Structure 1
Amino acid sequence: MSVLPLVFTSGWASGVNAYAVVLLLGFFGATGLSDEVPEALQRPEVLIPAGVLFLCEAVADKIPYVDSVWDSVHTVIRPAAGAWVGALLAGQSGSLSDLAAGAIGGSTALASHAVKAGTRMAVNSSPEPFSNVIISLAEDLGVGGLVTFAIFHPEAAAIIAATLLVMGLAALYFLASRIRRFLRRRAQRREERRLAGRTGSPPPG
């Protein structure tokens, strides 16, 4: 059976929460629920750091503006994780080359990461602080549910992941004005801090 659907779904999920993907796949492999998970994802030296970082993300991802800083840091990490997981899955099954799987997983993770980061910028331009918590919880549940579903129904899960990715990219297009507003505010705050540092006075607000 081709591992491509699982690679695609894990790539999409890695762009949203790479640490959750590693933890879930490692769990399914270690418990024997799936033979598709390579041993490298089941090792304690992989799962323990992933668990710690998952807890860090669970907190940072729900705090306005902190979530966007966290997303910026993970612009490289999430696509790299998607490529790594995809290559490992392909190596385990032998039905797809490691290079192709890495490219699919990494590019899909990059696209879903762009959707996640852009959506958070748009949300942070809104004065409603609870939106971050709701969206973060929805993302966590979505990643957990879809990766679990992909273990047992990979083709159907890949279709759902592709639909979510297309919908997310479309939403990102319509949220472009809010994202620009967020970037302008962030640039303004940086400029205020820079000027305050020169004058020795605290920035306004």
Structure 2
Amino acid sequence: MLEILTGAGLATASGLNAFIPMLAMGLLARFTSLVTLPAGWEWLSNEWVMVIIGVLLVLDVVADKVPAVDHVNDIIQTVVRPAAGGIVFGAGASSQTAAVTDPASFFTSNAWVPVAIGVVVALATHLLKAGTRAGANVVTAGAAAPALSVTEDAMSVGLTFAAIIVPVLVIVFLLVLGLLFWVLFRRMRRIRDARRARASGSEPPVPPLPPAPAAS
């Protein structure tokens, strides 16, 4: 059960930012005892791999905060984020971590299963993120992009470390993430409907001010 939560948390984090979970797993495996990567996934802790992932992370973080550029970045990431989700679900679910000291043999002997699950989870998260971001950019003329991007990066970091250290907290993060998307969607729809009402002239007329009292 904990392996599934670890993989799901990492894959969801990848759907928000492809490179944060991969870099975190590589760094933690190389420099700490919190993660021990299984055979076949040790390449994540290779120094050159981590350098490349770090450079890609910086580029993604910057591009994701610029209106219009973030939309192009989301199109590119439609391939990258699901692939990253498959990698971190496969690696995370079969790794020894601070919370999981004996990964289930199912995840190590059927390595394609967690990878496939991770691809689906990350793709679903990415599509929800990209759709919400596109709507927010239209409603706010791009002004919301930086704030939303910072929130998504923070959620990705939080999910990553929760998945590795306290997998049960992944459930809380997923509930909060779903709530945030729901609130944002409702707010965008309310703003859009108000703009349409103003454009069509269907807003109720403003009542006239009461007459001023006559001077005595």
Number of the residue aligned with 1:117: 130
Q: Displacement, 1:99?
A: 2.0
Evaluate the alpha carbon distance shift between residue 59 and residue 173 of structure 1 in structure 2; reply closer, same or farther with a 3 A threshold. Answer: closer
Deviation at 1:35, TM superposition (A): 2.9
User: What is the aligned-residue identity percentage?
Assistant: 33
The answer on whether the counterparts of 1:12 and 1:161 sit within 8 Å (CA) in structure 2 is no
Deviation of residue 24 (structure 1)? 1.1
**What is the aligned-residue RMSD (CA, Å)?**
2.6
The alpha-carbon distance between structure 1 residues 177 and 147, as it changes in their structure 2 partners (threshold 3 A), is: same
1:162 positional shift: 3.1
SS in 1 for 2:32: coil
Unaligned runs of 5+ residues in structure 2 are 97-102, 193-216
1:55 positional shift: 0.6
Contact 1:115–1:172 at 8 Å: present in 2 too?
Answer: no
Structure in which a larger fraction of residues adopt helix: 1
DSSP-derived class of the 2:11 partner: helix
Q: 1:81 to 1:126 in 2, by over 3 A?
A: same
Q: Is the 8 A contact 1:90 1:98 kept in 2?
A: no
Structure whose CA Rg is larger = 2
* SS of aligned partner of 1:3: helix
**What TM-score do you get using the length of structure 2 for normalisation?**
0.72
Deviation at 1:51, TM superposition (A): 0.5
1:177, 1:71 → 2: CA distance? Answer: 21
Task: Summarize the alignment of residues 186-201 of structure 1 with structure 2, pairs less than 5 Å apart.
Answer: none
Instruction: Please give the alpha-carbon distance, in whole angstroms, between the structure 2 residues aligned to 1:101 and 1:127.
Output: 38
Once structures 1 and 2 are overlaid, which stretch shifts more, 58-67 or 128-137?
Answer: 128-137
SS for the counterpart of 2:22 is helix
Counterparts of residues 39-188 of structure 1 (less than 5 Å): 39-92=42-95, 94-95=103-104, 96=107, 97-156=110-169, 158-164=170-176, 166-167=178-179, 170=182, 174=186
Partner of 2:212: none
What amino acid does structure 2 have at the position aligned with 1:59? V
- 2:21 alignment counterpart: 21
What is the alpha-carbon distance in structure 2 between the residues aligned to residue 54 and residue 134 of structure 1?
Answer: 18
Give the secondary structure class of the aligned counterpart of 2:18. helix
Tell me which residue corresponds to 1:7: 7
The answer to which of 61-70 and 168-177 deviates more is: 168-177
CA–CA separation in structure 1 for the residues paired with 2:81 and 2:90: 14
Residue of structure 1 equivalent to 2:198: none
Task: Indicate if the aligned counterparts of 1:119 and 1:175 stay in contact, CA closer than 8 A.
Answer: no
Note closer, same or farther for the CA distance 1:127–1:60 as it changes in structure 2 (3 Å cut).
same
C-alpha distance in 2, partners of 1:108/1:14? 9
Q: What TM-score do you get using the length of structure 1 for normalisation?
A: 0.76
Contact 1:12/1:165 (CA < 8 Å) preserved in 2? no
Superposition deviation, residue 167 in structure 1 = 3.4
> Helix, strand or coil for the counterpart of 1:125?
helix
* Deviation, structure 1 residue 165: 5.2
Unaligned runs of 5+ in 1: 181-205
